Structures are given as C-alpha cells and as structure tokens.
Amino acid sequence: DVKVTQSSRYLVKRTGEKVFLECVQDMDHENMFWYRQDPGLGLRLIYFSYDVKMKEKGDIPEGYSVSREKKERFSLILESASTNQTSMYLCASSPVGAIGGTQYFGPGTRLLVL
Amino acid sequence: AQTVTQSQPEMSVQEAETVTLSCTYDTSESDYYLFWYKQPPSRQMILVIRQEAYKQQNATENRFSVNFQKAAKSFSLKISDSQLGDAAMYFCAYRNSGAGSYQLTFGKGTKLSVIP
C-alpha cells in the first residue's frame, strides 16, 4: 500500500513564526502536492512538484513556499505564519503514468496560528 | 479554468438505504478524469471511484457507482446499502488528461451522515 506520512497531526504556532510541514511518501512517486482544506471551501492546491527541485504554483501560493530536495520528501514552508493560515494541510502524491493520476493523501496536519 | 460544483453541503441517509451525491463540472476539454474521494472523520482521504471521460460505461466499485452524463457535465455518486462506515465528507474532483496535467480540481464537498 502507498503510504504518505506527515510530520505532525496537530501544530500550534505563533504569528510571525516560520513553520515547516513535512511530507514523506514511500512509493517513489514523481508528483507531490500540498493542499489546504477549509470548511465550505474544499481542497485548494498550494504548490505541487513533479520532480526533485521542481515546483509549480497552485491556486493559492501566496504566503507559502516549498522545497523538494529528495524525491520522497516535500516540505511546505510558511515563512511568517499568520492567523489566516490556520487550516488543515493535506499532502498527496501520485505516480506519473498512473491511470487518471490518482492521488494518495496523507493524514493531514491541523495548524493553528495564534 | 475548470470548476467543480457540489450543490449539497450535507446529506443524510438511513442505514441500508441508497443515496446519491451530486456533482457538476465545467470544462472545455473532451478528455479528462473524474473522481470521488472519501474523507472519514479524522482519517485519511481515499479514492472511492474514478471515471475516464472517454468511457461511456459508468464506473462501479462494489456498493459505489457513478452516473456519468458527459453532455450534461454531471457526475453523481450512488451509494447502495449504506453502512455506518460510509459517513464521511465526499469530494468530487476533476483532472485534465493531457501530459503534464497533474492538478486535481475539487468541489467543496458533501458531508454524508448515516442514520442507524
């Protein structure tokens, strides 16, 4: 089974702090994604990466950056956390060439910024 | 840009009954993929069912089936013999089929409750 893990299930940070969210997948997938999930808004794509050191902006990249130094790991960085970044963050991965490009999700990190 | 609309924020179904969740989408593409994902409370999101737009036959996975109406751009999910474990948020999602098309566009979700 594909396994996507995220470093924390719950995180509490202060406004202005630098925040790192880590995601690791164990199935050698080329593509990795970061979403944020908010009630009534569904999932919105922040960034994705289709290869090591490659990244593309999603729909809501402002206030976020990402890093992918190794194929299995994709990090989401909040340079200076703000209260409006309080949300659930979901990581996903998918292999190139998979039928339909099915994505496999991690358990999520619920971030509270005070 | 593609959009996905789920018009039912919440639904409920009696255990063992059938329920249909609605999804419509907007695209100018002729070939694409559609998905239903399930997110149980405090658990990981998992794929329920997938449909390729070029296939006329509706996808089925055990108690889950879809009604894919390409001309109407409609993609509803039918859950038969509902079980307590079906209670979850359900998200409809769309993806272009072209090379380099990695992004999924999600609807806002439908929260399904199953009444014992």
Residue B7 falls in which region: left (phi positive, over 0), alpha (psi -120 to 50) or beta: alpha
Q: What is the pLDDT of residues A47-66, one digit of tens each?
A: 999 889 899 999 999 999 99
C-alpha B81/C-alpha B43 separation (Å) is 22
CB A12 within 8 A of CB A54: no
Distance CA B4, CA B91 (A): 10
Q: For residue B96, what pLDDT is reported?
A: 86
3-state helix, strand, coil split of chain B in percent (to 5) is 5, 50, 45
Neighboring chain B residues of A33 at a CB cutoff of 8 Å: 102
Q: Is B108 on the interface with A (CB under 8 A)?
A: yes
Residue B101 touches partner A, C-beta closer than 8 Å: yes
Partner B, chain A 44-83, Cβ-Cβ below 8 Å: 44-45, 48, 50, 58
Task: Choose between B102 and A78: higher pLDDT.
Answer: A78
CA distances from B106 to A10, A53, B86, B102 (A): 24, 26, 20, 13
Residue B46 contacts A, CB cutoff 8 Å: yes
Q: With contacts defined as CB-CB under 8 Å, which chain A residues touch B35?
A: 100, 102
pLDDT of residue B102: 75
Q: Tokens 């999603």 sit at which residue?
A: A58
Other beta carbons within 10 angstroms of residue B78's beta carbon come to 16
Residue A98 has pLDDT above 70, yes or no: no
Q: Which residue ranges of chain B lie beneath pLDDT 50?
A: none
Tokens describing residue A47: 């960034």
